[in-house]
């Protein structure tokens, strides 16, 4: 029996689940990266200059100088519901930041080492080993342009790791979406677009944004952002700020196809803790989670997915000789 159009759509959903949030971006931005779904719990649109601090306030912003960072990243994503998925990875990458005009930076990210990777669930090739995934993404590059708050203004095409030997084209076509998306999680965290004062919470007016659901469907969202400067300390001669970020909201959209349409709704909650070196104007660490729920209605049917994305990222400044200088996390 030939499946109905609605059944064909729902049959594809388990594979589309792989594109949710950071592993479709982007977390974090992004986690720090990608469409920055996780890491973008801060500034939401490009702007030329950081905010101005008043007495007793601080502003987090990147400097205009060239810099090289080593980023350690651990990520875990689980999706429950139809098409359950469990993805976990630990990797190390490098970030090269360089001035690109008056008010923006060019960020060149590259995966140096995939320390661990596992992917379970529908849509993954169970025959692939960790070594196969390592070969696919180690050496992969990603380039973008950001303003001094880390907001992505322009993103270039990914460069996958070079393949060798015969049949490389066939191998490239079988790369798991989650493997590719890990490259996009490398990047500089997005910073708050408001000045902060120790012990006080800053709440932004409700933000109108667009999120990529399933990696390809654009859904308008209404999100509430709040930032709290919870600590301001001097560590090894560096002034270091610790900021807690909370993002809550949701959205819905009718997605129209060639013959029929379906309805997508989503709820989202993100909690992050960002540690930032105000002296170096560079990140120290980013840790947090994003929990979201996506519901798809089509042809009288309903499918619901719950996704949890956890990310922990550390940054160390690399000198000209390749040595890393880390700031102790307060």
pLDDT at 276: 96
Tell me the average pLDDT across 258-272.
86
Output the pLDDT for position 161.
Answer: 56
pLDDT of 6: 35
- Mean predicted confidence (pLDDT) in 106-118: 91
- pLDDT value, residue 70: 95
Q: What is the pLDDT of residue 42?
A: 42
pLDDT attached to residue 181: 64
Q: Which of 16-25, 62-71, 78-87 has the lowest mean pLDDT?
A: 16-25
Question: pLDDT (tens digit, 9 = 90+) per residue, 208-222?
Answer: 887 776 656 778 889
| Burial letters 221-233, b for 16+ CB under 10 A, else e | bebebebbbeebe
Q: What is the mean pLDDT of residues 58-67?
A: 92
Using alpha carbons, list the distances in angstroms from residue 28 to 10, 11, 15, 107, 263.
28, 28, 21, 15, 26
pLDDT given for residue 23 in this prediction: 37
Residue 159 — pLDDT band, cuts 50, 70, 90? Answer: low
Give the pLDDT score at 17: 39
Local structure of residue 18 (DSSP, 8 states): G
- Exposed, middle or buried by CB within 10 Å (0-12, 13-18, 19+), for 293? middle
pLDDT, tens only, 251-261: 998 887 777 78
Q: State mean pLDDT over 103-107.
A: 91
| Predicted pLDDT at 36 | 42
Please determine, for residue 310, whether its predicted confidence score (pLDDT) is greater than 80.
yes
pLDDT at 231 over 70: yes
pLDDT at 180: 53
pLDDT at 173: 41
User: 194: which 2 tokens?
Assistant: 């408001």
In this predicted structure, the answer to whether residue 91 has a pLDDT above a threshold of 80 is yes
DSSP letter assigned to residue 20: S
Higher-confidence position of 230 and 262 = 230
Average pLDDT, the chain: 76
**pLDDT in the model for residue 164:** 43
The pLDDT confidence band at residue 77, using thresholds 50, 70 and 90, is confident
**Three-class DSSP labels, 102-113:** CCEEEEEEEEEE
Three-state secondary-structure class, residue 299: coil
Gap between the Cα atoms of 57 and 41, Å rounded: 20
Of residues 154 and 16, the one with the higher pLDDT is 154
Using an 8 Å Cβ cutoff, are 32 and 188 in contact?
Answer: yes
Q: In whole angstroms, give the CA distance from residue 277 to residue 31.
A: 18
Quick check: 211 and 251 in contact, CB under 8 A?
yes
Confidence of residue 30 (pLDDT cuts 50, 70, 90): very low
Q: With bands split at pLDDT 50, 70 and 90, how would you rate the model's confidence at 307?
A: confident
47-62 in b/e burial notation, b at 16+ Cβ within 10 A? eeebbeeeeebbbbbb
In this prediction, residues 31-52 reach a mean pLDDT of 47
Spatial distance between the Cα atoms of 82 and 140, rounded to a whole number of angstroms: 31
**Residue 155 pLDDT class (50, 70, 90 cuts):** low
Closest to 145 measured CA to CA, from 193, 101, 211, 93: 101
Asked if pLDDT for residue 69 goes beyond 80, the answer is yes
């Amino acid at each position: 029996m030939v499946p109905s159009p609605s059944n064909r759509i729902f049959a594809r959903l388990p594979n589309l689940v792989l594109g949710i949030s950071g592993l479709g971006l982007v977390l974090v931005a992004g986690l720090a990266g990608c469409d920055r779904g996780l890491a973008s719990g801060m500034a939401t649109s490009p702007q030329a200059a950081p905010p101005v601090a008043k007495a007793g306030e601080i502003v987090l912003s990147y400097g205009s100088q060239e810099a090289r960072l080593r980023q350690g990243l651990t990520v875990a994503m689980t999706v429950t519901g139809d098409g359950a998925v469990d993805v976990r990875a630990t990797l190390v990458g490098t970030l090269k930041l360089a001035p690109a005009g008056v008010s923006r930076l060019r960020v060149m990210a590259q995966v140096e080492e995939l320390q661990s990777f596992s992917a379970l669930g529908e849509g993954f090739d169970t025959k692939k080993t960790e070594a196969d995934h390592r070969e696919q993404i180690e050496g992969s590059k990603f380039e973008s342009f950001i303003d001094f708050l880390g907001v992505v203004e322009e993103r270039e095409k990914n460069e996958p790791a070079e393949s060798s030997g015969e049949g490389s084209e066939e191998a490239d076509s079988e790369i798991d979406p989650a493997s590719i998306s890990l490259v996009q999680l490398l990047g500089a965290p997005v910073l708050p677009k408001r000045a902060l004062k120790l012990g006080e919470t800053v709440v932004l007016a409700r933000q109108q944004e667009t999120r990529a659901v399933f990696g390809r469907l654009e859904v308008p969202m209404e999100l509430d952002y709040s930032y709290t400067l919870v600590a301001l300390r001097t560590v090894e001669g560096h002034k270091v700020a610790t900021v807690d970020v909370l993002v809550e909201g949701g959205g819905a959209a009718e997605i129209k196809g060639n013959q029929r349409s379906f309805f997508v709704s989503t709820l989202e909650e993100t909690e992050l803790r960002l540690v930032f070196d105000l002296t170096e104007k560079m990140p120290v660490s980013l840790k947090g989670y994003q929990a979201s729920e996506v519901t798809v209605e089509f042809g009288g049917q309903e499918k619901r997915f719950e996704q949890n994305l956890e990310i922990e990222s550390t940054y160390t400044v690399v000198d000209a000789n390749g040595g890393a200088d880390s700031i102790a996390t307060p």
